[in-house]
Amino acid sequence: MAKKAAAAANASNVTKSVKERDTRTMSRIVDLADSVASKALAGREPKVAIPLRTKSNTIWNRKRGMLEMGDAAAERELFNLNQAKQFMQTCLHANSIKELIEAEKTLSLRGMFYKGLHTVQGTKEKTFADQDESDGILEDLEVSLGSLREELHIFAKKKGTMIGNITIVDTGDEIDCRRMGSGGYAIPSIVEPDVIQFKKCDAKFVLHVEKDTVWGRFNEDKFWQKHNCILTEGGGQPSRGVRRLLQRLNNELGLPIYCLLDCDPWGHYIFSVIKQGSISLAFESNRLAIPDAKFIGIRSKDYTACDLSDDVKVEMNDTDIKRAKEIAAYPWFLGHKGWQAEIDLMLRNGFKMEVESLITKDISYVTEEYVPQRLKAKDWLV
């Protein structure tokens, strides 16, 4: 009875929190609409201020170890021929979000694209050319309203998987991530506390791997059981849902986050995004960035250290070389001796390597030797 009462109380608190959040979001949308309407009624040109999601408006906060958005903004004007369509799209999506909140329902990014899609009356012009155009407007609204995508009742496609020594509650359903078979728990795009709660966690750390193929090897070998951890994957560049879940596991449960990624500019960039945040989503760094995340491999030195064959080499092309140099110049990597040495060695080697290359040593070399040895020796980059 006590457990049921506690669960009911928790559900009541979550419901109350969601309603308060929706009230705040609705108030911001109404304020935006009132601002546009008041300008029009006063005979002035309607405008909407949109914070800039650009590199030039991104600040590296060295003390906090994360990217932050600056104060620069651009005005989106109705009577500017170059901006009129985006102005219309902004108002159109803002109204759709208002309708979602009123109906207490959610829509996917794809659903929002279709909800706002129609031909403008008297023309052959469609409101949105494609979903990318729609998604960009929704991100503009996030930063303009100061509300997260989840607060706008919008979700993205599920991407990422988790298994390990933790029990969670997902929209009221208790899920033991120790009993998820070969497929694992599919990480949703909305993982906020009102959706997912952590009930019981015995794990000592989180191992995040880049791809499902590597995750499958770790799961099949029961790495998470043997080493008492949580195992996640992000399908390459991790989605916001995966990054947010990792941040919550780190921030709320105090679990270290170790990242096993490819030895290439793209693996290095993925780690950068997990650790410091990204330029396009700098406004969300507080809830996404994990400043103390650690890069556990694969490393440039592993070709020699692990006695790998020439077969694992993937020659770097001009794009790879250019990207590696760009990453080396990031402020958070520029003054880091370890990362400078890592990227320099990769460039001098002239080749990339994938985590899967360790299979050439043995099918389970990565789970039984490579990662355990790195963890024991505390051999990682931060």
Nearest C-alpha neighbor of 351 from the set 302, 316, 318: 316
Residue of 114, 185, 269, 365 marked active site: 114
258 is catalytic: no
Task: With both helix axes pointing from N to C terminus, report the angle between 131-145 and 84-103 in degrees, rounded to the nearest 10.
Answer: 70
Question: What CA–CA distances, in Å, run from 194 to 24, 60, 285?
Answer: 16, 30, 20
DSSP 3-state assignment of 200?
strand
What tokens were used for 250? 């780190």
Question: What CA–CA distances, in Å, run from 349 to 296, 315, 321, 366?
Answer: 19, 9, 11, 22
Contact 118, 89 (CB under 8 A): no
Catalogue the E-assigned strands of the chain: 47-51, 58-61, 66-69, 73-77, 107-108, 154-155, 161-164, 166-170, 173-176, 185-186, 196-201, 205-209, 229-233, 257-260, 294-297, 314-315, 351-352
> Could you tell me if residue 285 is left (phi over 0), alpha (psi between -120 and 50 degrees) or otherwise beta?
alpha
In the block, residue with structure tokens 């694209």: 113
Residues found in the chain: 382
User: Cα separation of 254 and 274, whole Å?
Assistant: 16
Nearest C-alpha neighbor of 207 from the set 381, 376, 333, 375: 375
What tokens were used for 182? 């070969």
233 forms beta bridges with 161, 209
User: Cα separation of 68 and 285, whole Å?
Assistant: 6
Binning the chain into helix, strand and coil, the percentages to the nearest 5 are 50, 20, 30
Residues recognised as catalytic: 114
